[in-house]
Amino acid sequence: ITLTRHRAQTQLGDPERWQELMKGYAFGRAAKPEEIGWMAAFLASDRSGYTTGTIVTIDGGGGSRRSAL
């Protein structure tokens, strides 16, 4: 499992800047760190044993929204 950097809201940063950045996201918010962690835990578990060679994008629909613009 490799996690790449993406926007996840934490206690750091300017809340007003986050609001501006999130306007382009379909869910209107950044991922919570635990939402990324849940996927990482799933992929590392036996429950994803048949999952191979795939990229899982966790972006709250941001990628699909950008492609529609």
pLDDT digits (tens, 9 = 90+) for 13-32: 677 877 777 777 777 777 88
CB 27: neighbour CB atoms within 10 A?
A: 12
Q: Is the pLDDT of residue 67 over 60?
A: no
* Among candidate residues 47, 16, 49, 33, the one with its CA nearest the CA of residue 58: 33
8 bridge partner residues? 31
Average pLDDT, the chain: 77
Cα separation, 39 vs 47, in Å, equals 11
CB 47: neighbour CB atoms within 10 A?
A: 10
Which of the four pLDDT bands, split at 50, 70 and 90, describes residue 66? Answer: low
31 bridge partner residues? 8
User: Is the pTM for the entire model greater than 0.75?
Assistant: no
